[in-house]
Structure 1
């Protein structure tokens, strides 16, 4: 049976197919030369957890039931519309350790070949570029981007270790400096990527990158899946950590869908938001 969603907002409630629901947003057409469209996505529980942390090891994990097949399909549809995927050194370390799957390519499995064809039909490159944001520049480089012909850019701050910058440049990678400190700043990163002709940027990152993108007012859209379950746990991650955002955290709901086919019959919401203009 084809998965279905109930669109609750905007307009009159309507039953729609899940497949293609996010492709219809055509995010790759929303950016312009020098002004990329930047979007992020998160999955959270009703009590705001995006992951749990095991105190003895410090390792993070996704609890069973937080991510579903329906959510993953929409995640892949967001990927399919990107000129580049922004990831981080922590993901590459987890990937090398076998704790996470490689999600840096699109349409490489039989079940997702339609997304590869969608990119071809819509004038996008076969695979998006990969941008690795890191303050330490201490991470293992996966071989999958090279195997799939993906452009790889390493992004860091001006205060990053000089020997690590030199290391990646000697290895043949483009290293861009986007921020005055060691870490990447959202506004500087978006300007650098926009100057390189990248128009749709999908953030596969965590709370810190979301924070800097919001503070610098360069985030265009936030996609949020809310699983209808409470996770609890004393050690966990949320979408943001750090100082209060203030007015930079004001968002407008653009659409809300209800997924009745989520795990355990609990259901989940698919929503997306856009930041509101700065208050004068």
Structure 2
């Protein structure tokens, strides 16, 4: 993992990597009734964030996109959240051991300091977890119970009512946050606000990013751009849906260069502020 990065914008200077995103103090930026909602993606130069297996249809994060530096910064974002917003696909991938379980702060070797950081800044030991799902077909990881995390399930009003009732009988809280089958950005953020959350980290995919942007409730977007081309005929990009129009307008806030990445290539770490969001005049 790199120890320093070169900041390229808004000014040029060297800066330590560890603590870079913790210094943003995202947990303090939410307002009453309007949580600070932020997301993070890693992408190749040709826009791939995940590749789909032709046989199984399952998506995977290519190893070529991963690096120790990106993981550290991801976990720093994770550590500042009152609530993690993830999705049923990630929970299923944990159960199938296709993806690592990072639903808890301070459990990844080499990054245990983040648990102490949360404690020092007055945050609960672990964030709450919101699982957004249309299928409602998943099993909760054992780690959630082991760390006694608050968990609730967000879904649309047109999902399987019998399955929703079954989850409630099992003691799970189910929140309706969308008029169709899928969760929508504004109703979900309203639900987060009603629960008193001030910061929410999107540990989710393109659909969640899209609805948050369209509804004007995404506060900040972090993007890691790995300096390589992936190719692949079946893939996901950050946005899979129709054109975003004005909702897709972003303003670059910071840009850093990591030239000593563990993945063998360089990478950029960028931070963007959406121009089309609630309470902000573009």
Secondary structure of the equivalent of 2:163? helix
- Correspondence 1:224-243 to 2 at 5 A: 224-243=223-242
C-alpha contact (below 8 Å) 1:65/1:263 kept by paired residues = no
Q: Give me the TM-score of the superposition, normalised by structure 1.
A: 0.97
Aligned to 1:10: 10
Is 1:213–2:212 an aligned residue pair? yes
C-alpha distance after superposition, 1:174-221 (max 9, x if no partner): 111001111100100001111110110000110101000000000000
Aligned to 1:152: 151
Aligned to 1:189: 188
Aligned to 1:58: 57
Distance 1:262 1:2 in 2: 6
Aligned to 1:32: 31
Aligned to 1:251: 250
Please state how far the C-alpha of 1:277 moved relative to its aligned partner.
Answer: 3.5
Q: Give me the TM-score of the superposition, normalised by structure 2.
A: 0.96
**Ranges in structure 1 where 5+ consecutive residues have no aligned partner:** none
Secondary structure of the equivalent of 2:273? strand
C-alpha contact (below 8 Å) 2:258/2:267 kept by paired residues = yes
Secondary structure of the equivalent of 1:86? strand
Q: RMSD of the TM alignment (CA)?
A: 1.4
C-alpha contact (below 8 Å) 1:31/1:199 kept by paired residues = yes
Q: Sort the Cα spacing of 1:268 and 1:109 in 2 relative to 1 into closer, same or farther, 3 A.
A: closer
Distance 2:108 2:8 in 1: 32
Distance 2:56 2:151 in 1: 30
Aligned to 2:260: 261
Give the number of equivalent residue pairs.
Answer: 279
**Ranges in structure 2 where 5+ consecutive residues have no aligned partner:** none
Please state how far the C-alpha of 1:264 moved relative to its aligned partner.
Answer: 5.1
